[in-house]
Structure 1
Amino acid sequence: MVQRPLSPAMRRFVDDELLRAPLLFDQLLDGTLDHTRKSLPTMAPLQRATTGELMQAMLSQRRRLGDYFMRSLQEQVDAELQNQPRHGATASTAPRRMSLALVDEEVVAMDVELSHIIEAIKSNAEYELRELQTYISALVGDMDVSVDHNPFRAETYARATWAAAQALPLSRGHQLAFMRSAGPALAQLLRTAYAASSSRLDAMGIEPAAHRTVILPSGTRRGSRSNEVTFSPDLHSIRDTMPGPIDAPLSYEGQGRQPGGSAASTPAFRPAGGSTAAAPGTPREHWTEIARTTSSRVDRQSIELVSRLFDAMLTDERVPEDVRMIISRLHGPAMRLALRDSSLLDRDKHPLWRFINRMVFECEMAPDPSDPERRQLLKTALGTAEQLVAEPEQNNALYRWALDRFESYLHKRLTRRLAAAASQIGALQKLEDKLLSGRTDAHSSFHGMLDVEALDTVPADLMEHSAPISRAETPTDTWLDGLRPGDWVRMFLQGRWVQARLLWPGERGEVFLFGDGASDTTWAVRRGALLAMHAARLAKSLKERSIVGSAAARVQEQMASAAA
């Protein structure tokens, strides 16, 4: 994996921030104690007594809490600096490993509190975080501020605070109360700390990346997000309103040529029906000439529309570079197909566009470029694309075969992962049966410390462990019961967002097994935990986005701008 070298200036910045972190934690603990002390008069007698236990532990274990905080902060920052790829993918160079994490309602309660703290920090320090991001981008040489290179993000401090909470020799309820009291103090402290960091970098002579005007070589800038839309225009309508003359040069040169590269001309060929088309590898200029000289206006418009669609997809910043290379290989075949079959403009139905959308989505679910599964996925997709390029006869049946071949690979990949988790699934089914028969000894570690209202968005049955509670059907239940093996879900687990695939739903709907998209980690999640996450907006289904639809919207916007 290609990584951006850590500059000496960036190393000095990180070391300086870590040296200041113990003082920040001391201030955090003082602020937490002050917040807790002010809350005592509003508490019931029992809650006041348990809160007193928490305050006493915070004072007596102050050094221990600080050590846990600093150890977590150091580990997170080191991991960030060692594993961050050049283009900011959330990847790790560590080998894939198989593990199983059990997630119950107690874990979700802490994740809910973590999410609240993270949102509070981002809300209070929104401007300061954005300003600091521009300075740190300058330190690492990312003049476009394309990703967030700040190793001291809100999530980092929130997880370090949770690590400190776990140092308390008390129940989970006490630890959760500590997190709730620490949240407001941490948000205010970090707002000041982020502003001070920017000031120190400015005093060092660092010029923020966002304040510069940088002229980069053609094709190196990533596309803007301004064209992300929630609708997708009809391709037939766009083609029919597209001007007949094709004079404007496009940013990408067509099949076989990357931005800034070169392409070798190959002879044109004549498809059935008499229209002249270009063979694979033909430069974009040749397609433009063909579009000008063909007798059919519809053919000219179709050629131009397909070219613009591919240009838009190849400049879409959501599409990774290795995926763009495969999409570019399909440019030429798609141009040839456009002269044969108008159904290519059926955006939601045609197998070519469905193949592209599916490939992009699956690569988003496996974001690590060094992951063997992702490399095999791309190898399969590229092999399929090369076969499409080599076919002299372009038709719908060919692309249906390509889509079926890719779907078959994805099905086999899911089957392999299920086979690898077979022993876990067997054990979890037995656990589910015990849970529903009441033969488990699962007890909450909150020990009555917390009232339900303190959990805010968490449902009232969050603390119940021994048996499922009968309830009326809710939208959350409908969402959970609608999940099927193979569906992707975005969840907030253990202080971070993950993309997880449902591998196995328990036969009785109480335990669900999910697999991480970026590793072999698996999570066994109880129904109540999933309901709590979904109610707190910490879990949602991921649907395949239409990259082609977004490209169509960009083309339509460009045409409207040109006509204005």
Structure 2
Amino acid sequence: MSPPSIPAALQQFIEDELLRAPLLVDQVVEGTIDRLRQSLPTLAPQPRAATADLLHAIGSHREHLSDYYVRSLKRQLAERPDPMAAFGASALPAALSLVDEDSVSIDVEISHAIEMVRSTAEYELRELQTFTAALVGDMDLARDHNPFGPATHARALWAASQALPLSREHHLIFMRNASPALAQALRRAYAASSSRLESAGVTPAAYRTMILPSGARRSRRPEVSLGAGLDLVRSAVAPMSELGFDLGEPDFGGLALEPAAAAPAAPPAAERRAIETLTGLFDAMLADRRLAADIALMLSRLQSAATRLVLRDPGALDDESHPMWRFIDALAFTGEVLPPAGNGERAQTLRFAQGLVEHLAAEPVPAAPLFEWAGERLLHQGQHRFARRCTAAAGQIAELQRLETRLCSSAAPPSTLGGALDIAQLDTVPADLMPADGPSAEPRDALAWLQARRPGEWLNAFLQGRWVKAQILWPGELGELWLLADAESPETWAVRRRAMTTLHAERLLSTLRPRSLVRSAAKRVMRRTIKLG
């Protein structure tokens, strides 16, 4: 059911929720039936007949719906990825799934169900997250520990639809009408779960906050949008001493503050201002909950080198494209596209990155070219990882090349790829869900976006019911098939061109690029300054 390594308190919570799952399914089924019946008078003859068939099947297979739903929940809990799994040719799956237009239509419906649950039960979901975090001892709520999140239930709902002996079109109609009922049922279920945990004496965790000098906590208002970046912070953030705080003498950690012989002496006030600004930026970056713990440790190790650089090169505080900030962004991005903590691939890569960080930290006079060099080394290391992944998938790429040729030369696609490619035989998708046949039906912007993609690029994709970070291993010589690799596991997907463009048009596929940590930190510093002012 669940991995034995999870805490006993969370295990008990999982077992209790599974016992209550059949009641949840009954509520969802009742809500779905009501919605389908109310829609009958407004439907055209053909959709009305399909809805009537669906209502009859639900009534005849109600117990099976509950059984499929609960079994899916248990399977998802048991199949959570093992972070200790290693990459390599032997670890690659024997069967390669082909993601085509029919598969994408399923992902679209699952994603809509997830978003409906999140928007309907937003408050209840956040409250339950604080309790489940407390069950595992994460009192800062560094990550979501709720095993029954919206995605888990949305996938279970799709699994339940398979209990109905109808076509794929009927299954999609069921999903569309069951999603609102699921959202309402989960809203009540999440609230009830929080109440039970609170009655049991569980103290909810608190979202991680930054304690300000005044003792006030950091506001959780949406980030303000700033047109400029670090220059606004430097020009607008007043030294804390001007805000009425007694900072005493600044502690520069034994750093040599004497400027270079060729540079004019900087006033002490300017040095203090630079130190305070840089410290505020690093504090804000380290408080970012999206930053992995191992990356945050390396980032904190860089702060002393960054301070020495800023004291000699104050312009770094005005330019978010400075090599120092670009290296920090690349370091954080590397952590995002590696397997989870505990994986051998992650440990090996971060050992290399740690060596770069230690080299920078030990440099008595760090300069921009040194950070530029470190960024290039990190980039080359990523290219080596990509080359190894391609080598491990060489057999899959060769088979896909042959399949692509057959797909483009025949109107009838083969059902298997040399016995290794498992392509599900899917029924017809409703016409209103998929674009019409023919190249002209593809969204021009989505097709242009796809044509601009290159091997090695990272994508944020919703594939087979979940969000993944995927790297393009092979784009297809004819542009019909794309081989993508999961960042967190050895899993790969062969995705058809029309599936890629449809996902992009539905905003379920986008380019994943390094985000600017310092830009986000600058916004937090500005917001804090405005609040204190």
Deviations 1:419-446 (A, max 9, x none): 2222222222222222222253469966
Q: Give the whole-Å Cα distance in 2 for the aligned partners of 1:269 and 1:41.
A: 79
User: Cα offset for 1:108?
Assistant: 0.8
Structure-2 residue corresponding to 1:322: 294
3-state DSSP of counterpart to 2:320: coil
Given candidates 500, 503, 518, the residue that maps to 1:530 is: 500
Structure-2 residue corresponding to 1:98: 92
Given candidates 418, 421, 428, the residue that maps to 2:393 is: 421
Structure-1 residue corresponding to 2:362: 390
User: Cα offset for 1:179?
Assistant: 1.9
Q: Give the whole-Å Cα distance in 2 for the aligned partners of 1:345 and 1:539.
A: 34
Q: Give the whole-Å Cα distance in 2 for the aligned partners of 1:77 and 1:253.
A: 50
Q: Following superposition of structure 1 onto structure 2, how do residues 150-229 of structure 1 map, counting pairs within 5 Å?
A: 150-209=146-205, 228=223
Given candidates 361, 366, 371, the residue that maps to 1:399 is: 371
User: Cα offset for 1:174?
Assistant: 2.8
Q: Following superposition of structure 1 onto structure 2, how do residues 69-468 of structure 1 map, counting pairs within 5 Å?
A: 69-78=69-78, 92-96=83-87, 97-99=91-93, 100-209=96-205, 228=223, 230-231=225-226, 233-235=228-230, 238-239=233-234, 249=247, 272-273=260-261, 295=267, 298-345=270-317, 347-366=319-338, 368-441=340-413, 447=427, 451-453=430-432, 455=433, 459-461=434-436, 468=438
Q: Give the whole-Å Cα distance in 2 for the aligned partners of 1:232 and 1:253.
A: 33
Residue pair 1:173, 1:445 contacting (<8 A) in 2 also: no
Alignment pair present for 1:519 and 2:505: no
1:402 to 1:174, Cα distance in 2 relative to 1, 3 A: same
Structure-2 residue corresponding to 1:68: 68
Residue pair 2:484, 2:492 contacting (<8 A) in 1 also: yes
1:36 to 1:13, Cα distance in 2 relative to 1, 3 A: same
> In structure 1, what residue type is equivalent to 2:116?
A
User: Cα offset for 1:32?
Assistant: 3.3
Residue pair 1:32, 1:181 contacting (<8 A) in 2 also: yes
Q: Give the whole-Å Cα distance in 1 for the aligned partners of 2:482 and 2:339.
A: 23
3-state DSSP of counterpart to 2:312: coil
User: Cα offset for 1:358?
Assistant: 0.7
* Count of matched residue positions in the alignment of Structure 1 and Structure 2: 510
Q: Report which structure shows greater RCO (CA 8 Å, sep ≥6).
A: 2
Greater mean alpha carbon deviation, residues 128-137 or residues 241-250: 241-250
User: Cα offset for 1:346?
Assistant: 5.1
Structure-2 residue corresponding to 1:6: 7
> In structure 2, what residue type is equivalent to 1:550?
S
3-state DSSP of counterpart to 2:478: coil
> In structure 2, what residue type is equivalent to 1:554?
R
Residue pair 1:232, 1:553 contacting (<8 A) in 2 also: no
User: Cα offset for 1:233?
Assistant: 4.3
3-state DSSP of counterpart to 1:328: helix
Alignment pair present for 1:15 and 2:15: yes
Q: TM-score, normalised by structure 1?
A: 0.78
> In structure 1, what residue type is equivalent to 2:73?
L
3-state DSSP of counterpart to 2:483: strand
Structure 1 gaps of 5+ residues are 84-90, 255-264, 277-292
Q: Give the whole-Å Cα distance in 1 for the aligned partners of 2:349 and 2:222.
A: 28
User: Cα offset for 1:27?
Assistant: 3.8
> In structure 1, what residue type is equivalent to 2:446?
T
Deviations 1:260-318 (A, max 9, x none): xxxxx768596641899xxxxxxxxxxxxxxxx96565445434433333333233333
User: Cα offset for 1:41?
Assistant: 4.5
Residue pair 1:227, 1:554 contacting (<8 A) in 2 also: no
Q: Percent identity?
A: 45
Q: Give the whole-Å Cα distance in 2 for the aligned partners of 1:213 and 1:549.
A: 20
Q: Following superposition of structure 1 onto structure 2, how do residues 544-559 of structure 1 map, counting pairs within 5 Å?
A: 544-559=514-529
Structure-1 residue corresponding to 2:421: none
Structure 2 gaps of 5+ residues are 416-423
1:438 to 1:549, Cα distance in 2 relative to 1, 3 A: same
User: Cα offset for 1:104?
Assistant: 0.6
